[in-house]
């Protein structure tokens, strides 16, 4: 069964690879700004002081370094996306389990077992109970198998789309930042303040974006764990069985 996807595995892998590359490019850009400031010379420092922007530029650069540190720290929390395409195979497997189990429900139709109406005594009662209990068990389990398959699919797609969004966005952020840093490096030091403030805001936006994505990915992961436990709990239900044996076939 081929599950529909908006991103291919190769596209996903490229975006995952682009994330650390983008982080490295951002770090290089920040260091370029710091190098330019450190190499401004006495005349650059004098003109900045004379223009009344020296302290403000220093403060902005300090915020930029702090923002880069926060970005590096939060990127460590992003961790690895794992292999969502393996999760898709698991999803497909559970959907096939649902298909097989749901296809058996019709086999438990009482009309197909005339002995349930003619067989009397203890053995007959046990025989009739086996059919109804098996019907109830299969009827209760296959929807959970289907729900877990659907959720695994949704989770895998969420990871794939999430990381592709992160990769695409980081590339766009680095493109914007490269343009701003390029402008910073060509400007007179007395004009640095405006552009450095824009770079600080850009880095802060990247940090917030990554933080939001981490929360979203973690919440979905916890929901998946909860659903898997729900299926495990449902499959452990032996209601209707005899002494927890499922199904009892020793009625003869």
Q: What is the pLDDT of residues 198-235, one digit of tens each?
A: 999 999 998 898 888 888 887 777 777 777 777 677 66
Query: Is 88 among the domain residues?
Result: yes
Q: What is the pLDDT of residues 157-205, one digit of tens each?
A: 888 888 888 888 888 999 999 999 999 899 899 898 899 899 999 999 9
Query: Is 250 among the domain residues?
Result: no
Note down the domain range covering 189. 13-235
The overall longest dimension of the chain from CA atoms, in Å, is: 108
Domain count, the chain: 1
Please list the residues that pair with 245 across neighbouring strands.
242
For 103-117, b/e burial (b = at least 16 CB within 10 A) is eeeeebeeeebeebe
Average pLDDT across the chain, whole number: 80
Determine how many CB atoms are found less than 10 A away from the CB of residue 226. 10
Query: Is 183 among the domain residues?
Result: yes
Query: Is 7 among the domain residues?
Result: no
- Give residue for tokens 């495990």: 232
Q: How confident is the model at residue 240 (pLDDT cuts 50, 70, 90)?
A: low
Q: How confident is the model at residue 87 (pLDDT cuts 50, 70, 90)?
A: confident
pLDDT at 11: 87
CA distance 130 to 89: 34
pTM of the model: 0.70
């Amino acid at each position: 069964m081929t599950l529909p996807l908006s991103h291919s595995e190769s596209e996903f892998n490229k975006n995952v690879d682009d994330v650390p590359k983008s982080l490295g490019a951002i770090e290089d850009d920040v260091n370029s700004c710091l190098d330019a400031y450190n190499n401004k010379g006495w005349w650059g420092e004098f003109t900045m002081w004379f223009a009344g922007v020296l302290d403000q530029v220093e403060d902005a650069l300090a915020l930029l370094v702090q923002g880069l540190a926060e970005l590096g720290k939060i990127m460590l929390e992003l961790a690895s996306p794992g292999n969502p395409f393996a999760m898709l195979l698991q999803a497909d497997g559970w959907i096939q389990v649902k298909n097989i189990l749901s296809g058996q429900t019709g086999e438990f139709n009482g009309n197909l077992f005339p002995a349930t109406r003619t067989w009397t005594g203890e053995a007959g009662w046990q025989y009739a109970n086996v059919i109804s209990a098996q019907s109830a068990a299969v009827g209760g389990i296959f929807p959970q198998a289907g729900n877990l398959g659907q959720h695994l699919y949704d989770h895998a797609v969420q990871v794939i789309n999430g990381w592709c969004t992160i990769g695409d966005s980081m590339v766009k952020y680095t493109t914007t930042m490269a343009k701003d840093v390029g402008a910073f490096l060509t400007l007179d030091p007395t004009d640095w303040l405006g552009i450095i403030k824009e770079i600080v805001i850009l880095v802060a936006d990247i940090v917030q974006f990554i933080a939001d994505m981490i929360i979203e990915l973690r919440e979905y992961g916890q929901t998946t764990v909860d659903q898997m436990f729900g299926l495990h709990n449902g499959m452990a239900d032996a209601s209707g069985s005899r002494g927890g044996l499922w199904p009892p076939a020793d009625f003869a």
